[in-house]
């Protein structure tokens, strides 16, 4: 076995994926989608911890990509405040938005279960290609997330840039499905905790050398 010193390799071609900290609607168990609640105090603390853990990697970052939604943007800003780095370019794009939940946005999840049944709500939440009424499926979410990632973010990584993506559970599921080569059945089972950073290190060809959840 060849021993690899990842600390030497981690100077470039790094990607951090982090879901936003707990939002006010996460706390209230409400379908959020493209709505814009702020972070709770717990969510701010999660974002701060994410920044501290990312800072411990001793990586110089070039870009922060985030969605058009406030909870992801604020999480990204708090992370930047805690990595103590200047000149990180911030790019906001709605392609990284959370899955659009359509008619369910703003509704309490437990109330939805009472109205439509546990099984139906679970299908809307966790099936790959069936969306809620008026909303997106995870498959459709990936169809807007992945072109943006492959055309804009991934080429920068291959050039040696280091990037943080502060986004949402389902936009990140779309990225992780691609990066980890997961099936549609596997990805719907993946839970991504709020404020928990995932670190990827790539080689020159774009293959993953190393992956680590910074919060075990």
Active-site residues, by number, are 20, 98
Residue ranges with strand state E in 11-108 = 14-19, 63-66, 89-92
Using a 10 angstrom Cβ sphere, with 0-12 exposed, 13-18 middle and 19 or more buried, the burial of residue 187 is buried
Distance CA 145, CA 196 (A): 20
Distance CA 32, CA 47 (A): 19
Residue 138 near residue 187, CB atoms below 8 Å: yes
Paired tokens of 211? 């992956």
């Amino acid at each position: 076995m060849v021993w690899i010193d990842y600390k030497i390799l981690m100077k470039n071609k790094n990607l951090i994926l982090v879901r936003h900290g707990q939002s006010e609607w996460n706390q209230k168990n409400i379908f959020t989608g493209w709505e814009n609640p702020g972070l709770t105090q717990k969510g701010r603390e999660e974002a701060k911890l994410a920044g501290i853990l990312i800072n411990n990697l001793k990586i110089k970052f070039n870009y922060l990509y985030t969605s058009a939604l406030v909870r992801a943007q604020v999480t990204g800003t708090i992370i930047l405040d805690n990595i103590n780095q200047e000149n990180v370019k911030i790019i906001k794009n709605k392609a990284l938005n959370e899955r659009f939940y359509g008619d369910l946005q703003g509704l309490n999840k437990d109330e939805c279960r009472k109205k439509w049944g546990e099984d139906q709500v679970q299908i809307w939440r966790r099936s790959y290609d069936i969306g809620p009424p008026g909303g997106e499926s995870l498959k459709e979410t990936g169809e807007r997330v992945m072109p943006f990632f492959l055309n804009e973010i991934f080429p920068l990584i291959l050039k040696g840039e280091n990037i943080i993506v502060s986004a949402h559970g389902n936009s990140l599921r779309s990225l992780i499905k691609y990066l980890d080569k997961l099936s549609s059945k596997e990805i719907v089972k993946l839970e991504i905790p709020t404020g928990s950073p995932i670190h990827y290190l790539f080689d020159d060809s774009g293959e993953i050398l190393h992956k680590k959840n910074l919060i075990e």
